[in-house]
A and B are shown apart, each in its own frame.
Chain A
Amino acid sequence: GQQLNQSPQSMFIQEGEDVSMNCTSSSIFNTWLWYKQDPGEGPVLLIALYKAGELTSNGRLTAQFGITRKDSFLNISASIPSDVGIYFCAGRRRIQFYFGTGTSLTVIP
């Protein structure tokens, strides 16, 4: 099925740095979601976005629903070691969910 274009594929950053990742699609979505997955576990929902232009924060995480409804970004401020994991974006159109290929984040203490 269709997958979203998520970038970067991987990131290696120093503890304390800010992180930015994004997802793009050629199609519009009604909902954008961001998940974090730890090794051997299922993805955990971080942020849900429902309207174009919406900006939502969850602690050090901030995500935005793009104005065109075809993209979204996730920012993590002041990264800490427990931010390590794979971050997935997902877009919903009607009943179907489409997933990005993931961004693997490594935080170096």
Chain B
Amino acid sequence: KAGVTQTPRYLIKTRGQQVTLSCSPISGHRSVSWYQQTPGQGLQFLFEYFSETQRNKGNFPGRFSGRQFSNSRSEMNVSTLELGDSALYLCASSPGTAGALAKNIQYFGAGTRLSVL
């Protein structure tokens, strides 16, 4: 079955603009998580959506927001872009089950490379 699809792959924006990134999860997966990856900072968790509700949130400012649609597709929005927002944004989908025995694995998309000038 198809993997996680992120669009667009590359984006160039200027400071102050806003941007919307899209993620289509693996069919049947109900959870979508977003991560920011910068050199030296590793994977920083932004938020997770499950069944159209934000279930978990990282430590990012309110300029970063997201939503999930009924078909589990998710979008992430960053408003008032800053130079420091330049990063690879990764989306990961998983079944979203929480039990200790659950085979709940995250699969990643190829990412969206955002450059803020």
List of B residues within 8 angstroms of A97 by Cβ: 33, 45, 92, 106
List of A residues within 8 angstroms of B42 by Cβ: 3, 88, 99-102
Q: How far is the CA of A42 from the CA of B88 in the complex (A)?
A: 9
Question: With A31-B103, A44-B108 given, can you name 5 additional A-B contacts, CB distance below 8 Å?
Answer: A1-B58, A41-B111, A42-B109, A50-B103, A95-B50
Q: Do A95 and B113 have beta carbons less than 8 Å apart?
A: no
Q: Do A41 and B110 have beta carbons less than 8 Å apart?
A: yes
Decide if A58 is an interface residue (CB 8 Å cutoff).
Answer: no
Q: How far is the CA of A45 from the CA of B109 in the complex (A)?
A: 11
Decide if A27 is an interface residue (CB 8 Å cutoff).
Answer: no
List of A residues within 8 angstroms of B44 by Cβ: 1
The answer, among A45, A94, A96, for a CB contact under 8 Å with B107, is: A45
Q: Do A33 and B106 have beta carbons less than 8 Å apart?
A: yes
Q: Do A35 and B96 have beta carbons less than 8 Å apart?
A: no
In the complex, residue of chain B having the shortest beta-carbon distance to the beta carbon of A1: B45
